């Protein structure tokens, strides 16, 4: 288990035990790291990650607090993070995406309109300029949805849409915990757009495979 994940698990245990309740302030970073047997860096990364999924509220100059969400909501969010690392179902969904999405992308290379290519390029620009993980994931979902629809096969587009939803939180978590995940995603998106713009189906297929396989490879390492 990665040290950041271990820190998150320890914080979850404090909430489950009742040691930390909604609205409680966390002990000082140095004290909490020492108490949990963790480095301050790993604890800091865990706090950052948990603040992004609204489990913790970091108040500059005041401290870090457990959010005011109900205990059940807090545990649901934390359970996702912990159990996610052992969820083979998510891996199976990504395997299916890796099979189907490159085919849809190759089809889109011969059918997509110039206007749609311009929209995809704009999504890449917006993602490059954004530092908000949830916005990046939202843009990522729209990017893939537009390409699937541009394949011209409505059944395939709907099938891919049903596969994208379950992986959204996984993409958020990857963006939070993996360094350079966002910049790598944008670079791969731009390569896909270039292949679509130059009407190269097999190049588009190859980049789509690389793109989806990257998320799958990351998840396999966690599991």
Q: Tell me the CATH number at 54.
A: 1.10.10.10
pLDDT tens per residue across span 14-61: 877 778 887 888 888 888 888 888 888 888 877 877 776 667 788 888
Residue range(s) defining the domain that contains residue 111: 88-222
pLDDT tens per residue across span 189-216: 999 999 999 999 999 999 999 998 887 7
Last residue of a domain, one of 84, 116, 131: 84
Whether residues 79 and 184 fall in one domain: no
Count the domains in the chain: 2
CA–CA distance, 49 with 81 (Å, rounded to integer): 10
Whether 49 contacts 176, CB under 8 Å: yes
pLDDT tens per residue across span 144-194: 999 999 999 999 999 898 877 666 666 666 665 666 778 888 999 999 999
Question: What phi, psi does 130 have (nearest 5°)?
Answer: -95, 145
Q: Which whole-number Å values give the CA distances from 1 to 39, 85, 140, in the listed order? A: 15, 9, 27
């Amino acid at each position: 288990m990665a040290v950041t994940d271990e820190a998150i698990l320890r914080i979850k245990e404090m909430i489950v035990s009742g040691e930390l309740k909604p609205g409680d302030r966390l002990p000082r970073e140095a004290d909490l790291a020492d108490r949990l047997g963790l480095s301050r860096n790993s604890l800091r990364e865990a706090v950052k990650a948990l603040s992004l999924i609204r489990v913790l509220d970091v108040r500059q100059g005041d401290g870090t607090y457990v959010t005011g969400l109900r205990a059940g909501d807090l545990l649901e969010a934390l359970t996702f993070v912990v159990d996610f690392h052992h969820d083979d179902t998510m891996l199976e969904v990504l395997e299916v995406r890796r099979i189907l999405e490159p085919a849809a992308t190759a089809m889109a290379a011969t059918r997509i309109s110039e206007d749609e290519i311009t929209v995809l390029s704009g999504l890449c620009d917006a993602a490059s300029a954004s530092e908000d993980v949830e916005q990046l994931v939202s843009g990522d979902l729209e990017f893939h949805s537009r390409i699937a629809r541009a394949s011209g096969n409505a059944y395939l587009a709907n099938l891919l849409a049903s596969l994208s939803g379950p992986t959204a939180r996984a993409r958020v978590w990857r963006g939070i915990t993996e360094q350079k995940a966002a910049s790598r995603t944008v670079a791969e998106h731009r390569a896909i757009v270039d292949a679509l713009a130059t009407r190269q189906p097999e190049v588009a297929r190859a980049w789509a495979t690389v793109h989806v396989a990257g998320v799958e490879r990351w998840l396999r390492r966690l599991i």
